[in-house]
Structure 1
Amino acid sequence: MARSDERRPVQRDLDILPRLLVSSVDLLQTARDVAVARGNERLAVRIGLSKLQLLEIASLAQILGGERAVELWPGLPDPANDWMPPEVDQICFARAMFPAVKHAAILVLYRLLAEPGLYISAEALAGAARVKSLNFRRILNVYVCQLRKSLAEHGLADAIVTGKQSYALRADRALALRLLLSPR
């Protein structure tokens, strides 16, 4: 039978873990910013993937550490909700998966992924992509074409459907797309 004093170091380690993860993620973000500033996109993507792995560990620490971990780092992913708005690292990973797709098109994809099965207006998608042009429908059409072509390369050619001045991500394709966009 384990004595109570043997359990204390384990609890202390669980208390320290979220702080260490916060420092590590901050350090990786700084390294990623330097890589981007120097124009080394490949290194920036690799650092971004490492940061995503740390966030997964942080999520586990939240489960193990309970409320205390959430207090120390409120930005931790919620284990009960597997989708979060896209962060820079998620966009970098998606750009690595779909190299022919522009940054703004990735934002459209994540916006569609937020509500699979629902038609989202062209205006809302243009807003998600931060398009400020009066020709936003044409620009959005280009982004959707890029996405469809790239998704077709991964067996998801019919994932995006067109409505009347709107687009939707098919609900039955959302899980496959989430798995595709999640780091392995």
Structure 2
Amino acid sequence: MKKRWIIILAAVAAAGVIGGCSNPQKSGVSALEKGDYEEALADFEEMTQSGDAAEGYRGLGMTYYEMEDYENALESFRQAAENGAKQTIQMYNLMGICAMQTEDYKSALDYIQSGLALMSISDGADKADEDLVQEMKYNEIICYEKQADWENAKEKVTEYLEAYPDDETVQKEAEFLETR
């Protein structure tokens, strides 16, 4: 997850450079990298008020996510999308994880599936790495299980194991689902 986190931070910083954002974004990303969440929140909040709301909310979402404040992270990511942030596989994954952490498995499933759907239309700039795809497909199974949708969970486990046959955790999930 750390590798992906660095990639996401780099994407936010690059978006700011490309978009001509000023110091709050650079300062916010730097503060976030250092773990200075209060400074990061202040910088990203300033961005939401000063014209780059989409990236400001995305930064707030990542900061809250890192703070394990999943409700505020999810709301910030939603605000980022509403304010025109580029919708990426990575953002949908984070939204799905946040929804799972708040036990809203229906919404989590929607976010995960929306992110996975982007894979077919994604260009090279934000293509998901295979570890991210695997994580999202695993979380998709968990969301179905948490909603007691055993048939869809079984179908997704079968698809998952065709792609990742050596995953012992999901092999155990498959055994569990056979009892349902």
TM-score range, shorter chain: 0.3 to 0.5
Say which structure is richer in strand: 1
TM-score, normalising length: structure 1: 0.34
Which protein shows a greater Rg?
Answer: 1
Say which structure is richer in helix: 2
TM-score, normalising length: structure 2: 0.35
